[in-house]
Amino acid sequence: MKYKNLLTYSLLFAMAFQACKKNDEKLSSNSDINKLTDVKVPEGFLWESSRDVTFKVSVTDTRFSDASHIIAVYTPDGKLLSKGSASIDAAFETKVYVPSNITEVYVIKTAPDNSTVNKKVELNSSDINLSLGATSTTTSSLKANGSTFATSPDCSTGCAQSVNITSSGQWITIEGGKTVCISGSNKTFNVTFGNGGGTARVCGTDLTVQNINKNAGSSAISFVVTNGSTVNFPGLEFDRPSHVFSNYGTAKFTGNLASAGTVNNYASLTVAGDFNLNSSNITDTNEGTITVSGTMNVNSTTTFENQGSATVNNLQINGSGIVNNRCKLMVSNSFITNNILNNYSYAQVSGNTQINGSAQVNLVEGAYFKTKDLDKITGSFAASGSSSMVKISGTINSNLILDAQQTSNGQKFKGNLKVCYGSTLPAGLFKEGASQGCDLYIPATGCNPGNGMATIVDTDGDGVADNLDDYPTDPSKAFNNYYPSAAADAGATIAFEDMWPVKGDYDMNDVVFSYKLKIVTNAGNKVVQVDGTYDLLARGGIFQNGFGIEFPVKRELVGDVSGGTLEAGQEKAVITLFDNTHSQMLYYNTRSEEPSQPAKTYNISFTVANGPSLSSFGLSEYNPFIWNKNAGRGNEIHLPGKTPTSLADNSLFGTGDDRSSVASGKYYLTAEGYPWAISVPVKNFVYPIEGKDISTAYLKLPNWILSGGTQYTDWYSNTGSGYRNTVNLFGK
């Protein structure tokens, strides 16, 4: 509990809380836990919800000599973590304090011409090294812009029945809407979908599906090839809108693939025959690689959404079919369209192109359509947004040119479009700004080979092109980096107990701050400025507590401080915001029966001369701390494992319940491993109300601790069933 009256420092020791009973074994369930000190803390556990990950990204793209490229690291949901420059001579290096529940990131290289290359990176190490060239190792430009990759189901969860194929020719019946998970290798099998339909989920290698009997009527049936699986089909016809085929692995069809339902490909799909999409008002999606040796027919009112790479021998768009190409579409022979192709990236026809009737090929925002021959065009090419290009490397049907010369219907190229052709074309072919020319610059991406050469402008001469520079007219600055991320709603929270070196009541609300930091670097990835926003949310403690942050840079290198005080007598730069919470906030903001007030905001800023590299300075919480003014400035309280500042009173270590050891570098933990502060990488952390132990509010916190931080890594943010007891949370 908190004291109602201010006590002297010596009296605190006399009234110290007794250590709770130690457990010899891990608790089996939360029913055994009534307070945080019931949890047996694993040896060496530092209560971190994030971990440091260092990145070193080299550039092998020689198109721009030694000019700077931009390297950016994003979370799977598109939040920027870090950004800086790299060239063929110097890699980009950074260190980011990444939330533990983030297991992968996307690294994107942007060249001076705005062309991009992206790579998905698994965070299976604390040191990530990679190199990026001129072309992408992934297939989808859409994914490079923050879209989330599809996640494959598996055969260990969600299975109503599991079947292991032990001998070839086995029949499997699926009915009643159930999901049957099928495993095995180098075997053949057959599937019957019976009354009520269901899902066949295959997890195996070199399996062959000989027959699929569809006896489910109008019931939904689904066939799923999971990640890592290889499945062969002689052919497949899904003839109802309720039928779904999804591939996350390798699916090979030796015959035709036809569907009136939905086809979703997220990995590798190969069709030796024809691929016919016959659905009504259904979107079929490719986010991986599709190869079709026959003809791909987009029929009826089907929409085919290509976000990956599709290579087909022939492509026909029939009826009211639509193709949206957002990455790479390669046609080896002929392309015939009777409706709409919307090209947002790159489409190439190695043979001839026919645009029939009133059909249209739309090019959007710098798209590129390339064909050998243009045999027929009664429809048109139309462009919108930034300039796009149509390139004809072979011949144009002479009747097309004749139409342009003799009729008013010859305007076949419209909008912000350049048409590249070896001979001069009649002006009558062009409309609404379209013109002939081959010098249009289109940036290269992993989906688009691009065209021409870019004009690079660097106004401040720092080596970073204006289009890549966050400060294009200031040579001392180039990039903004953020912790926890650049997202508008991003932030982190730190919560303190203020009774150190005596244990508190673990409601973790004596001082609560949320914050966000911006680290400005120059073209050489050196830190030049730090800006931070800190919001005081609660002052539940009875003591007059001060608050400060120690940054990993020498004090004498810091200047132009605003919004805080650069504390004297420190080896490193320590910015203090105040020395008494009571003077900053009238109410506790921890007691539901008392008035509350909005958070109080502090905006700090300082410059750094001859600054450290971003990789050594890092992007993290740094070293925030409080001190008990009543007990003296040396009575500092930090996160577990963090070092004290130069002004801390080291004689207090090892007293009370503290078992810090200067010699061993262990700080701010009790003998049982309990802390006096925690940090979580979310802005809107809901802290407990006065006197309520945090483990009684966050019900998965004990499990996280017992696992050493490997399980329930979202204990602080997950609002699902069983995660929170909102009765014990302030503001819910």
Q: DSSP letters of 287-335?
A: SSEEEEEEEEEE-TT-EEEESSEEEEEEEEE-TT-EEEESSEEEESS-E
Beta bridge partners of 245: 223, 263
Residue type, 509: N
- Does residue 558 have a pLDDT over 50? yes
- So what's the pLDDT on residue 443? 84
- So what's the pLDDT on residue 77? 86
% the chain with pLDDT above 90: 83
Q: Average pLDDT, stretch 291-303? A: 97
Full set of structural domains in the chain with CATH: 9-46+491-728 (no CATH), 52-144 (2.60.40.10), 153-226 (no CATH)
Model pLDDT for residues 346-383, shown as the tens digit of each residue: 999 999 999 999 999 999 999 999 999 999 988 999 99
- Tell which phi-psi region holds residue 39, choosing left (phi > 0), alpha (psi between -120 and 50) or beta: beta
Q: Please state, in angstroms and as integers, the Cα–Cα distance from residue 169 to each residue in 110, 186, 527, following that order.
A: 52, 12, 66
Q: How far apart are CA 567 and CA 176, in angstroms?
A: 71
- Of 629, 630, 647, 604, the closest CA to residue 513 belongs to 604
Q: How far apart are CA 540 and CA 674, in angstroms?
A: 19
Lowest mean pLDDT among 136-145, 419-428, 697-706: 136-145
Model pLDDT for residues 488-542, shown as the tens digit of each residue: 999 999 999 999 999 999 999 999 999 999 999 999 999 999 999 999 999 999 8
- Does residue 643 have a pLDDT over 70? yes
Contact present, 313 and 292 (Cβ < 8 Å): yes
Strand order in the sheet with 92-99: 92-99, 50-59, 127-132
- Does residue 171 have a pLDDT over 90? yes
DSSP 689: P
Q: Tokens 């943010």 appear where?
A: 717
- So what's the pLDDT on residue 371? 98
- Does residue 105 have a pLDDT over 90? yes
**DSSP-based helix, strand, coil % in the chain, nearest 5:** 10, 40, 50
- So what's the pLDDT on residue 28? 41
Q: Average pLDDT, stretch 390-417? A: 83
- Of 151, 62, 53, the closest CA to residue 107 belongs to 53
- Does residue 27 have a pLDDT over 80? no
Q: How far apart are CA 266 and CA 153, in angstroms?
A: 12
Q: Average pLDDT, stretch 170-179? A: 96
Q: Average pLDDT, stretch 214-218? A: 91
Q: In this structure, what are the phi and psi dihedrals at residue 706, rounded to the nearest 5 degrees?
A: -60, -30
Confidence band of 407 (pLDDT split at 50, 70, 90): low
Lowest mean pLDDT among 102-106, 149-153, 229-233, 307-311: 149-153
Confidence band of 632 (pLDDT split at 50, 70, 90): very high
Model pLDDT for residues 107-166, shown as the tens digit of each residue: 999 999 888 888 999 999 999 999 999 875 443 333 333 334 578 999 999 999 999 999
- So what's the pLDDT on residue 136? 57
Q: How far apart are CA 675 and CA 666, in angstroms?
A: 12
In the numeric block, which tokens belong to residue 613?
A: 């590299």
Distance of CA 601 to the CA centre of its chain: 29
Confidence band of 408 (pLDDT split at 50, 70, 90): low
Q: Average pLDDT, stretch 38-62? A: 94
% the chain with pLDDT above 70: 93
Q: How far apart are CA 479 and CA 458, in angstroms?
A: 14
Structural element, H or E, at residue 581 = helix 581-584
| Average pLDDT score over the chain | 91
- So what's the pLDDT on residue 21? 33
Q: How far apart are CA 611 and CA 1, in angstroms?
A: 45
